Amino acid sequence: MNLIDRMANLDRRWIFLMMGLAVGIPIIVIGITGKTLPEEPTPLAQAAFDVLDGLEPGSRILMAWDFDPASEGELGPMATSFIRQCAQKGHRMYFIALWPVGAQMIRSSTSRVIGGYYPDLVYGKDWVDLGFKAGNEAVIKTIVTDFAQYFPTDARGTSVNAIPMMEGITSLADFDALVNASAGYPGSKEWVLYAATPLKKPLIIGCTGVQAPQMYPYVPNQVQGLLGAIKGAAEYESIVNNWVRSEQLLDALESGGITEPTSSELAARFAAAPSEAVTWTTEAAAASMSPEAKTKLIELATAPIPGIFLEAQRRMGPQLVAHLLMIGLIIAGNIVFFATRRRGGSQ
Amino acid sequence: MKRIVPLWITAIVGLVLIVSNFLPGTRSWGEEATTWFGIIAAVAFVLGGGSLLKVHLKKISDRNSGWAYSMIVLGTFSATLAIGLFKIGVAPNPSFPDVPWSGDVQGQGTPFWWVYEYVFKPLTATMFAMLAFYIASAAFRAFRAKNFEAVLLLGTAFIILLGRTFAGYFMTSWIPVDGPFSGLRLEELSVYIMQVFNTAGNRAIIIGIALGIAGTSLKIIMGLDRSYLGGGD
C-alpha cells in the first residue's frame, strides 16, 4: 500500500488528533508565554468602537445578550469589551436577553468586568440587569413603543420605578444606541428589522462566524458596527485595550503637568509602544514632571493587560493553526482525490 | 369548529398586524396582538415541557431504542425544574429575611446556579467545540475541486481562512498598505469578498425569502395554506 492509498484510507481519528493538537498546543504556548498575535483592526471593528466613543458620557446603551454557553467562546470576549468600553466611557448600560440562558451570560460578563474592574459603578444608577424575556421578536416589537410592558421589574425583582436609571425610559426610542451580541434566533437580524431600522438608532452587532455573512447586507445603513466571530472580537478588543491605556496615560500626563495637544500625542504613542514611555521620562521634555508622576506614567505604560481583556486575542492563536490545518487537509484530500482518479480507481 | 376557530384567529391577527403597520391610528391594535404573543410564548414553555414528558414517557413505556437516554432526559429535566421552581437551597433575600422564597434562584452558589455552571455550560460548550473535529474530517474527505465552481469555492475558502488570521497579514505584508495593490493583501481581500460578493448574494437571498414569506403569509391569512393546523391539509 503506497502513501496515496494510506491517505485515502486514513482513519478519521488521526484527523481528530491533529485538530486537537492544532488547538491545544497554541493554547498551552500562549498560556505559558502570555504572548498574543498582533491585530490590525478592520473598518467595521473601528466603526463599532467609534459609535460608542462618539456618544456623550452618560448615554443610554441597551445591551442585548442573545447567546448561550455554546457560543460563549466567540461572543464572551465581545461582551467583555463592549462592557469595558461603556464602563470606561461612563455610559449607562441596560442589559436584556431574548435567550433563556442570556440571563446567565449577563450575570457572568457583568460580574467579571464591572465587579472585577469597575467596582465604583452603582447598580441601578450606572447599569441594570433587566434579565430574560420570552417572546423572541415580539419582545422587541413591544418595547419599541412600551418598554415597561415587558420589563416592569429588573432581574432581581425590583420595580423599574424604584431604579433611578430607568427614569425617562418609556420605549426603545429613549436609548442612544443598541448593542447586540447574538448567536442566532432571536438576535441580530430581529434587532435590525424591528428596532434599529424603524427607530433609526445606531446598532452595533457582535455575532458568530456563521451569522456574520447574513449581517453584512445591513452594513452600514442599518448596522453601524459589525464584529464577526473571534476575529472581529480580537480586533475590537485590541482597539478598546489601546484606548483604555491611552486614556489612563493621558490622565497621568496631564496630572504631571503636560498639556494638550502634546499629552494626547504622547498618550497615543506610549499606548502603542510602552517602552517609549520609559525613554521619554529621561528626556528634557519630561523635566516638568515630578518623579512620582514619571513613575506612575511608566507603571501605567508597562503594566500587563489583565487576561480577561485579552481573551479574544489569545484565541486567535489556536484559530490560526486550526485554519492552516484545514487548508492542509483540503489540499491533501484533493491530492488523494486526483491521484486516485488518474489511476482510474474509485473513491 | 376545531379548524374554523384557529383559521379565523389567524386571519384576524394577521390582518391586524398588517393594518397596524400602515395606518398610524391602528398601531395600538398591533401592540395588543404582540402582547398576546408574549403571553402565548410564555405558556409555550409549559406546553413544551408537557410535550417533552409525553414523548419520552412513551418511548420508555414502549421500550424503544435509546429509552435509557429518555430516562436521563426526564431525570435531569425534573431535577432542574424542581430546583428552579421550588428554589431549593436558596437563602431568603436579606431585605426580606422572613419570606422563605424571596431569594435569587440564579444567585452564585445556589443549586440552580451550580447546575448551570457545572453541567449545562460545559456540556453545551463541548457539543459546539466538537464541530471543529467534524469540520476537519469533512475538509479532508468532501471538499474536492471537481469542477470550476468548486475551484472558485475552494479559492474563496482559502482566502477567507487565511485572511481571518495573522497568516494572511504575514503572507502579504510585503504589499504596501497605501499602494495601488493594497487590495490584494489577504486581509483586505477577505473583507472585500465578505462586503461585496457575499453582500450581493445574501441581499438577493434575503429579498427572495422576504417575497416568499409575504406570499406564504398571505396564503395563511386567507386560509389557503392550512398546513400549520396539522392533519395533512
pLDDT digits (tens, 9 = 90+) for A178-201: 999 999 999 999 999 999 999 999
What percent of chain A stands above pLDDT 70? 99
pLDDT at A345: 55
Bridge partners of residue A177, in order along the sequence: A61
pLDDT band at B149 (very low <50, low <70, confident <90, very high): very high
> Is residue B139's pLDDT more than 60?
yes
Cis ω for the linkage preceding A220 (within 30 of 0): yes
- Where residue B38 falls among pLDDT bands split at 50, 70, 90? confident
CATH number of residue A122's parent domain: 3.40.50
| Number of domains observed in the structure of chain B | 2
- How buried is residue A101: exposed, middle or buried, by Cβ count under 10 Å (0-12/13-18/19+)? buried
Min Cα distance B60 → chain A (Å) is: 28
For the residues B196-211, what does the mean pLDDT come to? 93
Domain C-terminal end among B63, B97, B132? B132
- Which of left, alpha, beta for B65 (phi over 0: left; psi -120 to 50: alpha)? beta
CB contact under 8 A, A330 and B203: no
**One domain, residues B106 and B145:** no
Percent of chain B scored above 70 by pLDDT?
99
Q: Does one domain contain both A272 and A172? A: no
- Lowest average pLDDT, out of A254-268, B64-78, B190-204, goes to A254-268
B63 in the same domain as B166: no
Listed in sequence order, the residues at least 6 apart from B156 whose beta carbon sits closer than 8 Å to its beta carbon are B193, B197
Enumerate helices (H) and strands (E) in chain B, giving the number of each. Answer: 10, 0
What's the whole-model pTM score?
Answer: 0.89
pLDDT tens profile A213-265? 999 999 899 999 999 999 999 999 999 999 999 998 998 888 888 888 888 88
Q: Are residues B45 and B127 in the same domain?
A: yes
Residues A196 and A59 in one domain: yes
Interface residue A231 vs chain B (CB under 8 A) = yes
DSSP assignment letter at A286: G
Inter-residue contact B21 to A129 (CB < 8 Å)? no
Window B:182-221, CB contacts with A under 8 Å: 187, 191, 194-195, 198-199, 202-203, 206
Check pLDDT > 50 for residue B112.
yes
Structural domains counted in chain A: 3
Tell me the pLDDT of chain A averaged across its residues.
91
Question: Do B72 and B163 fall within a single domain?
Answer: no
Least confident of A52-56, A262-266, B116-120: A262-266
Whether A50 and A158 share a structural domain: yes
Q: Does a structural domain hold residue A101?
A: yes
Task: Please check the confidence at residue B14 and state whether its pLDDT lies above 70.
Answer: yes
| Number of residues assigned to chain B | 233
Separation in Å, CA A1 to CA A4, A7, A8, A342, B137: 8, 10, 11, 17, 22
CB contact under 8 A, A324 and B166: no
Pick from A309, A51, A43: nearest CA to A179: A51
The pLDDT value recorded for residue A164 is 94
Nearest beta carbon to residue B161 from set A20, A134, A326: A326
A270 with A125, same domain: the answer is no
List b or e across A302-326, with b for residues whose CB sees 16 or more CB atoms inside 10 angstroms.
eeebeebbbbbbbbbbbbbbbbebb
Q: Are residues B127 and B176 in the same domain?
A: no
The confidence score (pLDDT) of residue A347 equals 44
Give every CB contact of residue A18 below 8 A, 6+ residues apart in sequence. Answer: A325, A329, B136
Over residues A139-147, mean pLDDT: 90
Cα–Cα distances in angstroms (integers) from residue B29 to residues A54, A147, A149, A330, B33, in the given order:
37, 17, 15, 55, 6
Confidence of residue B231 (pLDDT cuts 50, 70, 90): low
A332 domain-assigned: no
Q: Residue B154: which domain range?
A: 134-229
Q: Using alpha carbons only, how large is chain B's radius of gyration in Å?
A: 27
Check A134 against B45: CB less than 8 A apart: yes
> Does ipTM exceed 0.90?
no
Q: Is residue A325 domain-resident?
A: no
What distance lies between CA B202 and its chain's CA centroid?
Answer: 19
In a shared domain, residues A90 and A209: yes
Residue A132 counted as domain residue: yes
Its domain, for residue A205, covers 43-238
Residues B91 and B206 in one domain: no
What is the predicted pLDDT for the residue at A288?
A: 80
Query: CB distance from B121 to chain A under 8 Å?
Result: yes
